[in-house]
A and B are shown apart, each in its own frame.
Chain A
């Protein structure tokens, strides 16, 4: 039986969105993380692109379904569709372009408005390879992240620096939150417990089938 078609090859599926100004390197961050590729001539994204990668956190297989969005989307209906169901987000700016950093506030606001309140957020200062052109001091960004309870990493999709780490940190954070959430839910005596309910449920549930089988195992 083919696992991909009929079963599940993961324990958790997290939807993560990449947001930030046009041109800060979201698509290349994604391709670096999922396929270890970098395209020097990549054009600005039209609509939305998807990619997935499964990593292991604390012995669990976690599949990250990452949405790479166009930086210049104007319609709220669409951005809200992007954020719908997202449990994590990376707000990306370009360290050599201060306007892209300044806009992070806007992106954060939009995210908070549209996404689940528990969404895990990371701030990414991309293009760290352009140190000589740096326009955004690391400390300033770090402070901003702390104030807003964001993870923070400076990365370079070009030379791979910290890319994996940034995604892993975010995914780990989500995982920790989810497992805690589950415990909470269990405490409230919800059955099976792994399928969160309610309109603002932010976590794509691990499928019932799988959970049953894992329950049986446990």
Chain B
């Protein structure tokens, strides 16, 4: 069975399908093809829906009830889509009819390509033209169902629009050249209406080209690139500022507040002109130390202060204008700032290294010169002496001089060598304080401060904040490691080596002394000076850490236990503490050597065991050895006061006290003490006690010396009281618990009458029925 066109029109679906593919005119005709289609398939309700769909696709809003302003006299082709914004099902056809009436004539012209006289006379201004074109661009796709027709219309619209925009730009150019800025402003609005504000911005940019109007200097550095020529820099920034200010005024005039152009315009200048300029200034490099990138902070600060802050306000760019500009600069300079941060750290490391190395070299050179000088002086002195000696020898005996002259020369050489060694040792000791230089430490700390401050210029840049902090921390760590590795370590190592070499007793054998050298040097006194320097530097570092890193939030105080910077700082402190402890220990050893020397040389056997016939002439006062030793201790025990913490001082003083105590015990055991001599021993022991209890005031060791005082009484007891002497030895509580019984027993044997009392004493001691005596 054949199907006719009429048959097909029986089916509603088919009719609706066909309708949806038809242009407006074709649809109107098709609906009237027969009664059934008109009344049935495309009856009024269906028809209304079809118009409503079209309006919906045009972007109009559906409303339930009829809007009041259906027909408004002022509706025209330029504003129709802006005025008619809603529809109801009932009025859809009417609304669409209006659109159609106003816009379809233009569509017709486009279809036929009748482009001359395209706009009727009632639309006289360019702005209306632009709007009509925009409305057409919206309206035309509604007929896309008739595709070939639509395509042609669309193409013609595009061609016509381009023509139109070109004409506008031409007119605008004309106006701009004639400085008719009002006219330019109008055309800007037209372009904006056409969605072509970029064209306007490009137009402005091409008319105000930075590279054409501004001539920046080749270089803002001095001839030798050692510094920034600040006049030159200022001039460059002033020129740029003047240029930008004039453009800000112009852009405000042309674009007002409606069409933002200025920000984009200036961003372009920053990105394409200024960044390149600054980059080229900062790239000239002649090795790390003179790399011009170190001027980055200076440039940045000048850009902010002389350029950005000097700009006038821009209406077009809005109130945040300068902030945004700063952000632009931050963004575009970021790569340079990053490499600056990196170089700055390297630069600091190199400078610090240089300082320490040249200090080491100078010290070594100075030492060498001094040693030479010592040698030469000794040499001349020895020859003089030798001459004199030979003369004496000559006068005394002819034979003698012939016998010893050869021998004597080599002896003198030996003597010279020894004197040289001792004098060098002595001189080294003098120089200990110079091994660590407070001035130098201060200098590098100051340098570190400057480097960190420079980097902090960029701390406010959000993107760079973490990097800046990291670099500052790195710099601080370099400071500490430099101080510790390249200065304190070699300094303390040398100082301790010198201390260790120093032999006070050998110094006393120094036969040939140079007048200009202080012959007697207290090694500890010298070492204290270096401790003092160490302490000051530690304090300096602590303050620096607090003020430059913590307070300014370079280091988070609350997380500092996580931070390796704190670890580095602690390691440095520990290192110095260890050196101090080590040095003090050696110093105490040397001091004890001297104490021993004093006991050995000044404590006479008759001190505690006097000749009874001379007793009456002796003052009861401390012996020379006691005076000398207390004086020695007095000179040393308070050296650290103010140079280090109380804990270290206490340990130091107690250590000296304890070791001195041991030396006294040894000294007692070395001497014989008679009943008459006991008061002199007691007098010495009282003197020691007085020093420890009332001068040193170290409570922990006072009992040791109180114990010694009691020991002194063992010698006072008459030999006829030997039994009670034995009891006393067993009464350990009497000696403050300081001594064991063996020690007391050893000491009591130093009684000059020991042979006589021994039997009785031992009888009591070794428990022959004496209940209060126990030996374990």
A residues apposed to B, CB below 8 Å: 4-8, 13, 43, 46-50, 52, 65, 75-78, 80-82, 84, 204-210
Contacts and interface: CB of A to CB of B under 8 A. Distances in A.
Contact of A80 (B709, B712, B721): B721
Interface stretch (B30-38, B581-589, B615-623): B615-623
Q: Which 4 pairs from chain A and chain B are nearest by CB?
A: A77-B721, A77-B724, A207-B616, A81-B716
Contacts of A4: 619
28 contacts: A4-B619, A8-B616, A13-B616, A43-B693, A47-B686, A50-B620, A50-B679, A50-B682, A50-B686, A52-B620, A76-B721, A77-B717, A77-B721, A77-B724, A77-B725, A77-B728, A78-B713, A78-B716, A78-B717, A81-B675, A81-B717, A82-B716, A84-B718, A205-B616, A207-B616, A207-B617, A209-B617, A210-B616
B713 A7 contact: no
Nearest to B617: A8
Contacts of A205: 616
A46 B718 contact: no
Which residue of A7, A47, A208 has the most chain B CB atoms within 10 A of its CB atom?
Answer: A47
Contact of A46 (B706, B721, B724, B725): B706
Nearest to A205: B616
Contacts of B675: 81
Contact of A47 (B619, B709, B718, B724): B709
Interface string B608-635: 0000010011011000000000000000
A66 to B, nearest CB: 10
Contacts of B706: 46
B689 interface: yes
Contacts of B613: 208
A3 B620 CA distance: 15
A50 B681 CA distance: 12
A5 to B, nearest CB: 8
Contacts of A78: 713, 716-717, 728
Interface of B: 613, 616-617, 619-620, 675, 678-679, 682-683, 685-686, 689, 693, 706, 709-710, 712-713, 716-718, 721, 724-725, 727-728
Given A49-B686, A81-B716, 12 more contacts: A4-B619, A47-B685, A47-B686, A47-B709, A50-B620, A50-B679, A76-B721, A77-B717, A77-B721, A77-B725, A81-B675, A81-B718
Contacts of A46: 689, 706, 709-710
B718 A75 contact: no
Contacts of B712: 47
Contacts of B713: 47-48, 78, 81
A8 B614 CA distance: 10
B43 to A, nearest CB: 125
B330 to A, nearest CB: 70
Nearest to B731: A75
A199 to B, nearest CB: 11
A38 B620 CA distance: 21
Contacts of A5: 617
A95 B675 CA distance: 36
A47 B689 CA distance: 11
A78 B709 CA distance: 13
| Interface SS, B side | helix
A47 B682 contact: yes
A58 B766 CA distance: 55
A52 B709 contact: no
Contacts of B685: 47
Which residue of A49, A204, A205 has the most chain B CB atoms within 10 A of its CB atom?
Answer: A49
B623 to A, nearest CB: 13
A75 B713 CA distance: 11
Contacts of B619: 4, 52
B701 to A, nearest CB: 14
A204 B728 CA distance: 28
A13 B683 CA distance: 18
A60 to B, nearest CB: 15
B651 to A, nearest CB: 25
A48 B718 contact: no
A17 to B, nearest CB: 12
A209 B611 CA distance: 14
Contacts of B620: 50, 52, 65
B669 to A, nearest CB: 19
A52 B619 CA distance: 8
Nearest to B686: A49
A84 B721 CA distance: 13
A39 to B, nearest CB: 9
A116 to B, nearest CB: 15
A75 B686 contact: no
Contacts of A208: 613
Given A46-B689, A47-B709, A47-B712, A75 B724 contact: yes
Nearest to A81: B716
A50 B678 CA distance: 12
A80 B718 contact: yes
Which residue of A77, A80, A205 has the most chain B CB atoms within 10 A of its CB atom?
Answer: A77
Contacts of A65: 620
Nearest to B722: A77
A134 to B, nearest CB: 32
A76 B713 CA distance: 12
A205 B686 CA distance: 26
A48 B716 contact: yes
B342 to A, nearest CB: 66
B689 A50 contact: no
Contacts of A81: 675, 678, 713, 716-718, 721
A76 B617 contact: no
Which residue of B616, B679, B693, B727 has the most chain A CB atoms within 10 A of its CB atom?
Answer: B616
A52 to B, nearest CB: 6
A6 B718 contact: no
A76 B675 CA distance: 16
Contacts of A47: 682, 685-686, 709-710, 712-713
Contacts of B616: 8, 13, 204-207, 210
A152 to B, nearest CB: 28
Given A6-B617, A205-B616, A77 B689 contact: no
B724 A76 contact: yes
A149 to B, nearest CB: 28
Contacts of A7: 617
A209 B616 CA distance: 10
Nearest to B715: A81
Contacts of A43: 693
B248 to A, nearest CB: 84
Contacts of B718: 77, 80-81, 84
A81 B674 CA distance: 13
A46 B682 CA distance: 11
B618 to A, nearest CB: 9
A46 B712 CA distance: 11
